[in-house]
Structure 1
Amino acid sequence: MSGVTVLLVVSQLYTVLGSLTTIATSQGSCRHGWISFQNSCYMFSHTVLTWPDAEEACGILHSTLATIQTEEEQTFLKAYLNGIHAIAHGYWIDGNDLEVESEWQYSSIGKPLNYTDWGPGEPSNGANEDCLLLWGPYRFQMGDYYCYIHRRFICQQNNSAAPTTNPGWIIFG
């Protein structure tokens, strides 16, 4: 790979990661910009991406889309989002029914959803509404939506897995 190609790839990666800004300073054992709750760290994006791109962006950050498995976790995320947004379209989280319609599963762990907090009329199971998000108009209850629509997203990482430096960067000196 030529030097120009490497520079271009690094530049594109910096552009994507640089735009994944967060809205809070570090807490507990979470890295800067991530919010701590129970045993996890959460990053709330300002960037809008499709669901598959959001899943990939979280992977670049050594995390996954938020996997909501308890009422306490859902309550925390809803309270946090309602506190920072008067109204928002929504945030992508982990979950889809891409393989079998109406059979929702976590993509990060390959298991059926064990907790849901669907908004009114959700999941609507509309044609190709296969990805899970927290709907702003429903005060951040769950809903299904078109995976190719650009939305903000929430990444989640186990506290013990949180790196102490920027992921993927080599520190010299």
Structure 2
Amino acid sequence: MPNRATRKKYRRIRLHIFLALSLWFLIEAHPVEGTRCRNPYERHTSFHNFCYQDKRTSRVCLDSDEEMRVLAHHLANLGYPNGTQFWSAGHRWPGDNRFYWNYFGRARPLNYSNWAVDEPTPQMGRNCLILTLQGGELIMSSESCYTRAVDICEQTLNGTDSRPVIH
């Protein structure tokens, strides 16, 4: 039977082997290059079960009835049921009853609207514009900026946007 010093040495060797195998498994299961995040997250930062990427996008701004209907049709085809609420880039500043599109940090006037009945409400505290999928349309309403809703973002194609902004 090995003496005490030999048993201690074997335990230390087994611990080193166990740690080396554990480290190898972690590296193989979660490589540093990050295959955990799927496309379109080609360059990303990941933390636990989330992937992050700066996509240079803005929440959606609806500029026409046609754009609203195309987006509503797309969302319905994705399986979102009637009544689902979506964030838009629409907001108003305290003390101002007019809504604007917050387009990449700059205000743009709403040149199209599809407000629900009795909307927008003059009630302050409901300063964000929510889009609700209803019967093939996206209906606008003013809601609290803390309302739970799905984000929809848009991105211009290669600098093709020429929409007017209020600076």
The TM tier, using the shorter chain, reads 0.5 to 0.7
Opposite residue 84 of structure 2, the aligned amino acid is H
Match of 1:61 among 55, 63, 67: 55
Match of 2:152 among 146, 151, 154: 154
Matched, 1:126 2:123: yes
Per the alignment, residue 142 of structure 2 pairs with 144
Alignment deviations for residues 139-171 of structure 1 (CA, whole Å, 9 cap, x no partner)? 42111111012210110011225xxxxxxxxxx
CA contact (8 A) 1:78 1:141 kept: no
Q: Alignment identity in percent?
A: 21
Q: Which consecutive unaligned segments of at least 5 residues does structure 2 have?
A: 1-44, 160-167
Alignment deviations for residues 99-125 of structure 1 (CA, whole Å, 9 cap, x no partner)? 443211111131221111112222123
Q: Whole-Å Cα distance in 2 between the matches of residues 117 and 153 of structure 1?
A: 19
Q: Whole-Å Cα distance in 1 between the matches of residues 156 and 94 of structure 2?
A: 27
Match of 2:72 among 66, 74, 78: 78
Q: Please give the residue correspondences for 1:87-126 in structure 2 after superposition, counting only pairs within 5 Å.
A: 87-108=82-103, 109-126=106-123
TM-score, normalised by the number of residues in structure 1: 0.55
CA contact (8 A) 1:132 1:144 kept: yes
Q: Could you say what secondary structure the match of 1:103 adopts?
A: coil
Opposite residue 147 of structure 2, the aligned amino acid is I
Per the alignment, residue 132 of structure 2 pairs with 135
Alpha-carbon distance change, 79 to 99 in structure 1, aligned in 2, over 3 angstroms: same
Alpha-carbon distance change, 74 to 12 in structure 1, aligned in 2, over 3 angstroms: same
Opposite residue 63 of structure 1, the aligned amino acid is T
| Number of positions where the alignment pairs a residue of Structure 1 with one of Structure 2 | 112
CA contact (8 A) 1:82 1:140 kept: no
CA contact (8 A) 1:98 1:131 kept: no
Per the alignment, residue 15 of structure 1 pairs with 50
CA contact (8 A) 1:133 1:145 kept: yes
Q: Which consecutive unaligned segments of at least 5 residues does structure 1 have?
A: 1-9, 18-56, 162-173
Q: How big is the alpha-carbon RMSD for the aligned residues of Structure 1 and Structure 2?
A: 2.7
CA contact (8 A) 2:69 2:138 kept: no
Opposite residue 64 of structure 1, the aligned amino acid is S
